[in-house]
């Protein structure tokens, strides 16, 4: 049923675009929302997709493009004729323009920038030079700023004129010196109540600000401390160059979390959707899977070394995956905590020993509890306390190993310049599997006479 609804949506988009009915096309897109429109657009061929986006006004098309992930927005925009692409991008906010163009191939990006106004193109070129997860990379260059010598009456008149053209961008107006340096901020209420002849210098308030190289974690901390909708951004000369919106920081944090999750699952190189080229999707996944198969062969080779023990005590085969899986879960919990603390700056890569001590304590307690439960279950099942001792001791020991690795490996990888989101999982999984198999089978080999006769 859901499939027929999706198909109907893209068929309607195509039909409305074919007859060039921009008004009905816009109303229909508003009625189904961005998510359904995105899914419908992806089901259209390149020619029909182009027809839909060019039938819409540039403003409406820009509104849709702004609401979808920038990597996919870039793919869609790149497939449009250069003039149409430039028209749509020209209607977007500068921060969104930079995000989309920054994800394009350099040749396509330059062709589109050449069609945009020189001012907009210059802003975009400047913005894409910054780290995407810095204030410079997240800021927008559309903001309200007036020189400190301007009288209140002129500012109010200008704001009234701007309100006729577009909504105000925030609750504050920034004040700058003649050289463009940030001097302060105006509250709109204070502005309206002030004497009309007074210069802005008489009523401005000092303003908090961030620099262009302020990182995403620092921006998150800033907005957690202050209830602002935006924060001004200054360059190395204290000149006002933009403003970062709170919502942009929230979006960037969500994008980063999603990217780290995808990398931890072996999907490397950005967001994946099924409309992308098959070979591209295959290559991204194989970069993880090909490594993982090698690591699994290494772990499985441990079992081959103890084939005789496993043959003598078949019940051990039941407990091998339990020991490795339970230990892996404990280790993944430790990985998650370390990754979060690294991203928040709570822990530094060189604090390996402190993290290890803290995790080992937790692992020892949890290992004893989990090991005791598994030992009791094995004893009840087979009536052999030595089988319980083997699997319980193996789980307890492996849990300590797993949480120790899970807590420290992300720090070590970060310190040597390897992305911990990508590499922590494979390392932890392989070691906990290999160690778990080894512990169960080596303990069992030591107590083999008691297991075989118990």
In a domain, 139, yes or no: no
Of 72-76, 121-125, 296-300, 405-409, the range with the lowest mean pLDDT is: 296-300
* pLDDT tens per residue, range 347-401: 788 888 988 999 999 999 999 999 999 999 999 988 889 999 999 999 999 999 9
Give the strand pairing for 182-187 and 210-211: unpaired
Q: Give the confidence band of 261 by pLDDT, cuts at 50, 70, 90.
A: low
The arithmetic mean of pLDDT across residues 60-69, rounded, is 89
CATH of the domain at 408: 1.10.357.20
Q: Give 1's pLDDT tier (boundaries 50, 70, 90).
A: very low
* pLDDT at residue 418, rounded to an integer: 72
Q: Are the C-beta atoms of residues 391 and 317 closer than 8 Å to each other?
A: no
Is 273 part of any domain? no
The answer to the question of residue 268 being in a domain is no
Contact criterion met (CB below 8 Å) for 42 and 273: yes
Residues 282, 198 share a domain: no
Question: In 3D, which of 223, 14, 187, 215 has the Cα closest to residue 131?
Answer: 215
Decide if pLDDT at 260 tops 50. yes
Quickly state the pLDDT bin for 94 (edges 50, 70, 90). Answer: confident
Q: 189 with 205: CB under 8 angstroms?
A: no
Mean pLDDT of the chain: 84
Average pLDDT value for residue range 65-93: 89
Please indicate, yes or no, if residue 136 is contained in any of the structural domains. Answer: no
Which helix (H) or strand (E) element contains residue 74? helix 70-78
Q: What percent of the chain has pLDDT over 70?
A: 86
Cβ 411 vs Cβ 355: under 8 Å: yes
Residue finishing a domain among 227, 259, 291 = 259
Q: Residue 165 — pLDDT band, cuts 50, 70, 90?
A: low
- pLDDT the model gives residue 370: 93
If residue 255 lies in a helix (H) or strand (E), which one and from where to where? Answer: helix 246-264
Nearest residue to 52 via CA among 15, 77, 2: 15
Q: Does pTM surpass 0.85? A: no
Q: How many domains does the chain have?
A: 3
Out of 134-143, 162-171, 379-388, pick the least confident: 162-171
Tell me whether residue 138 is in a domain.
no
- 428 occurs within a structural domain: yes
Q: Which of 43 and 223 is assigned the larger pLDDT?
A: 223
Give the domain CATH number at 238: 3.10.580.10
Using DSSP's 3-state secondary structure scheme, residue 188 falls into helix
Instruction: Clarify whether residues 71 and 218 are in a common domain.
Output: no
Last residue of a domain, one of 259, 294, 328: 259
For residues 80 and 165, state if they share a domain. no
Backbone angles phi, psi at 179, to 5 degrees: -90, 0
**In-domain check, residue 114:** yes
Whether residue 428 sits in one domain with residue 318: yes
Is 25 found in the same domain as 113? yes
Say whether both 91 and 198 belong to one domain. no
430 and 286 belong to one structural domain? yes
Tell whether 329 and 365 lie within a shared domain. Answer: yes
| Of 376, 76, 95, residue with least CA distance to 212 | 95
Q: How many CA atoms lie within 13 A of 449 on its CB side?
A: 0
Instruction: Look at residue 6 in the predicted model and tell me its pLDDT.
Output: 44
Examine the domain organization and report whether 84 and 188 are in the same domain: no
295 pLDDT exceeds 50?
Answer: yes
pLDDT at 433: 86
Taking the CA atoms of residue 268, residue 272, residue 276 and residue 279 in that order, the dihedral angle to the nearest 10 degrees is 30
Q: Do 388 and 294 fall into the same domain?
A: yes
> Edge to edge, what strands does the sheet with 145-147 contain?
145-147, 172-176, 182-187
Total Cβ atoms within 10 A of residue 81: 11
Question: Which residues make Cβ contacts (< 8 Å) with residue 281, sequence separation at least 6?
Answer: 272, 274
How buried is residue 296: exposed, middle or buried, by Cβ count under 10 Å (0-12/13-18/19+)? Answer: middle
Between residues 425 and 446, which one has the greater pLDDT?
446
Percent helix, percent strand, percent coil in the chain, to nearest 5: 70, 10, 20
Q: Which two tokens stand for residue 196?
A: 């009309």
Does residue 322 sit in the same domain as residue 401? yes
Please indicate whether residue 406 or residue 300 has the higher confidence score (pLDDT): 406
Average pLDDT value for residue range 94-101: 88
**The two structure tokens encoding residue 244:** 């970062």
Burial 95-123 (b: 16+ CB within 10 A, else e): bbbbbbbbbbeeebbebbbebbeeebbeb
CATH code, 59: 1.25.60.10
Higher pLDDT, residue 252 or 453: 252
**For residue 238, what are its two tokens?**
């204290």
Which residues, at least 6 apart from 27, have a Cβ–Cβ distance to it below 8 Å?
A: none
Q: What is the mean pLDDT of residues 71-93?
A: 90
Among 79, 97, 129, residue at a domain's last position:
129
Reply yes or no on whether the pLDDT at 215 is more than 90: yes
Same domain, 187 and 109: no
Domain carrying residue 314: 278-453
Residue 117 structure tokens? 């106004």
Reported as half-sphere exposure (CB side, CA atoms, 13 A), residue 266 has a value of: 15
Residue 347 inside a domain? The answer is: yes
Between the CA of residue 335 and those of 252, 324, 361, what are the distances in Å?
A: 22, 16, 15
């Amino acid at each position: 049923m859901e499939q027929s609804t999706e198909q109907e949506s893209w068929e309607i988009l195509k039909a409305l675009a074919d007859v060039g009915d921009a008004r009905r096309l816009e109303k229909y897109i508003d009625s189904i929302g961005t998510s359904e429109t995105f899914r419908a657009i992806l089901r259209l061929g390149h020619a029909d997709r182009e027809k839909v986006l060019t039938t819409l006004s540039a403003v409406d098309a820009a509104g849709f493009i702004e609401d979808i992930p920038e990597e996919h927005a870039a793919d869609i925009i790149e497939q449009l004729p250069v003039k149409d692409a430039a028209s749509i991008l020209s209607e977007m906010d500068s921060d969104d323009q930079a995000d989309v163009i920054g994800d394009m191939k350099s040749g396509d990006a330059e062709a589109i920038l050449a069609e945009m106004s020189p001012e907009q193109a210059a802003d975009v070129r400047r913005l894409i030079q910054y780290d995407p997860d810095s204030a410079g990379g997240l800021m927008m260059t559309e903001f309200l700023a007036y020189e400190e010598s301007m009288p209140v009456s002129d500012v109010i008149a200008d704001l009234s004129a701007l309100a006729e053209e577009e909504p105000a961008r925030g609750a504050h107006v920034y004040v700058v010196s003649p050289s463009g340096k940030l001097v302060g901020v105006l509250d709109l209420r204070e502005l309206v109540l002030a004497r009309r002849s007074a210069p802005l210098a008489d009523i401005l308030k000092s303003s908090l600000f961030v620099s262009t190289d302020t990182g995403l974690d620092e921006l998150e901390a800033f907005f957690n401390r202050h209830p602002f909708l935006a924060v001004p951004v200054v360059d190395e000369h204290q000149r006002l160059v933009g403003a970062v919106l709170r919502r942009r920081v929230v979006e960037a944090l969500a994008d980063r979390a999603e990217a780290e999750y995808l990398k931890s699952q072996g999907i490397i190189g950005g967001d994946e959707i099924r409309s992308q080229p098959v070979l591209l999707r295959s290559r991204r996944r194989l970069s993880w899977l090909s490594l993982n198969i090698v690591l699994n062969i290494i772990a499985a080779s441990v079992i081959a070394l103890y084939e005789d023990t496993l043959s003598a005590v078949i019940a051990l085969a039941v407990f091998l995956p339990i020991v490795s899986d339970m230990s892996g879960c404990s280790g993944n919990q430790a990985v998650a905590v370390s990754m979060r603390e690294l991203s928040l700056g709570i822990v530094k890569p060189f604090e390996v020993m402190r993290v290890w001590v803290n995790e080992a304590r937790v692992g020892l307690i949890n290992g004893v509890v989990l090991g005791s439960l598994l030992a009791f279950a094995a004893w009840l099942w087979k009536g052999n306390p030595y089988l319980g001792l083997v699997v319980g001791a193996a789980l307890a020991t492996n849990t300590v190993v797993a949480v120790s690795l899970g807590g420290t490996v992300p720090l070590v990888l970060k310190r040597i310049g390897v992305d911990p989101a990508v590499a922590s999982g494979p390392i932890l999984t392989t070691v906990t599997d290999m160690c778990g198999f080894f512990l169960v089978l080596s303990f069992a080999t030591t107590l083999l006479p008691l297991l075989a006769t118990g």
